[in-house]
Amino acid sequence: MRRFSWLLFGSVLLGLTVSFVSSHADDPPKDKAAVDQKAVDDKSKADAKRDEDYELMRLFADTFEQIERNYVKDVDRRQLIQAAIRGMVTQLDPYSNYISPEELKRFNQEVEQEFGGIGIQVQMDQKSKRLMVMTPLPGTPAYKAGIKSGDLIMEVEGKSSEGITLEEAVKTLQGKPGTEVSLGVQHAGSDKIEQLKITRALIQVATVLGDTHKPDDSWNFFVDAESKIGYIRLTHFGRRSAEELQEALDALKKEEMKGLVLDLRFNPGGLLGQATKIADLFLESGTIVSVKGRNTDNRVWSAEKEGTFSGFPMAILVNRFSASASEIVSAALQDHKRAVVVGERSWGKGSVQNVIELESGASALKLTTAQYLRPSGRNIHKFPGAKDDEEWGVGPDADHKIEVTQQEMQEYLEYRRQRDVIGGAGPKVEFKDRQLKDALAYLKAQLAGEKKEAAKAP
């Protein structure tokens, strides 16, 4: 259909050109001959292109037929086609990929931030070879049933969970809201197995997190209560991220927040629309991001004053794993001098992918269709072979470059995991977060400067 539209548009242009030439009787005959020859040449090129497409598709069909008919053992036709599609997209770039029917459900869950289940995070316990609960999610059926961090799931639907894989566990524990699942749970420090019947519900996974949990297990969004400095972590950009962030900011504003740390470390990105909405929460005007594509309309997103959270200094934390939508937000706030960026240079993903439905929505193609530029017009994308001294990614502001070693990164992730556990004893060891420390120092200096200026004012 797309090729048909292009050819139709080309024929209309050609008709206008011929009409224009024929309406000028004084034009030399050779001009009409040149136009006619061009039309013949264009048709020849189109015919050659069509013939080439036909030959390539015949090559594919012949290869498929030979494998199916003569390979040493039977092959699954669908697996062959899926492998061929994956082979095509891997030739494009690292971010385009085919999403099979089996993978599409999980992909949609990540984007939509919701699924039917009981609301726990699990991992394999190497000692018992059973599922161990990392933490229940607040307010979920598992949380209400009394499941806690460190509990072992010994049985699922009356069957031993020994040797079960995480993938199998997810398939079993998730299900239609309102349905029941039976679990045999061994609480930490107990030898008994408690039989529980838990009714699944629609679980909404939060992407906006704080630093610690309050006594009621909700997030505390202050990292320094005395200085009134807020702290918000954004894990990825899902369907409700902007809404979640606004709720957290409203709560901080009521408690008279003076400064804010927005932590985008390890955030791989997500929905472009959510990135522009989140940047707009902190900017009153100006360009947020511009997008340019080969077969898509160029577009510019701009900030609007209404609903802006302003009047306080900000610091954004990024590291080498902050990518895509994270880079859109950090670049926009940095270019407009709304926030200082602290940490390491970001990943460098300046491309946009569209999710195109295949098989009437049963599978999908995630295809790179455009690239985006930061408000300053500078490039974000790290092209293959790009060097460290070239322009890509979002770099920290001057004097705020805080690089960490791989060991420090692993220690931080473990520290953060333990700190996020609901009802846990807290991290076993303290971790000195140098990047967060730098951000706090900057914000406190800004607040101290504002106080001095206020004291000078008549």
Q: Domain limits of the chain?
A: 114-204, 208-456
pLDDT given for residue 218 in this prediction? 92
| Active-site pick, 322, 324, 326, 346 | 324
pLDDT given for residue 6 in this prediction? 25
- What are the residues whose beta carbons fall under 8 Å from the beta carbon of 359, sequence distance 6 or more? 101
How far is it, in rounded angstroms, from Cα 280 to Cα 294?
27
Pick the CATH number of 208-456 from 3.30.70.20, 3.90.226.10, 3.20.20.140, 1.10.10.1100: 3.90.226.10
Q: Residues 431, 414, 244, CA angle at the centre, nearest 5°?
A: 95
DSSP assignment, residue 361? G
Is residue 171 part of the annotated active site? The answer reads no
| Local confidence pLDDT in tens for the 458 residues of the chain | 333 222 222 222 222 222 323 333 344 445 777 777 677 677 777 878 888 888 989 999 999 999 999 999 999 999 999 999 999 999 999 999 999 998 998 888 888 888 899 998 888 887 888 888 888 888 899 999 999 888 999 999 999 988 888 888 888 899 999 999 999 999 988 889 999 999 999 988 899 999 999 999 999 999 999 999 999 999 999 999 999 999 999 999 999 999 999 999 999 999 999 999 999 999 999 999 999 988 878 899 999 999 999 999 999 999 999 999 999 999 999 999 999 999 999 999 999 999 999 999 999 999 999 999 999 999 899 988 899 999 999 999 999 999 999 999 989 988 998 888 887 666 776 789 999 999 999 999 999 987 666 666 65
pLDDT given for residue 5 in this prediction? 29
Is residue 389 part of the annotated active site? The answer reads no
How far is it, in rounded angstroms, from Cα 188 to Cα 123?
15
pLDDT given for residue 14 in this prediction? 27
Is residue 360 part of the annotated active site? The answer reads no
Same fold for the domain at 114-204 and the one at 208-456? no
3-state helix, strand, coil split of the chain in percent (to 5) is: 40, 25, 40
Helix axes 29-70, 77-90, angle to 10 degrees: 130
Question: Which fold, 114-204?
Answer: Pdz3 Domain (2.30.42)
| Active-site pick, 335, 420, 433, 438 | 335
Helix axes 272-280, 325-335, angle to 10 degrees: 30
Pairing outcome for strands 222-224 and 229-234 = antiparallel
Question: Could you tell me the end-to-end alpha-carbon distance of the chain, in angstroms, rounded to an integer?
Answer: 70
| Active-site pick, 148, 258, 277, 349 | 349
Two structure tokens written together for 38: 């061009």
pLDDT given for residue 58 in this prediction? 92
- What are the residues whose beta carbons fall under 8 Å from the beta carbon of 369, sequence distance 6 or more? 293, 294, 295, 296, 352, 353, 354
Tally of CA atoms within 13 A in the half-sphere of 454 that contains its CB: 6
Confirm if 209 and 218 have CB atoms less than 8 A apart: no
> Coil, strand, or helix at residue 401?
strand
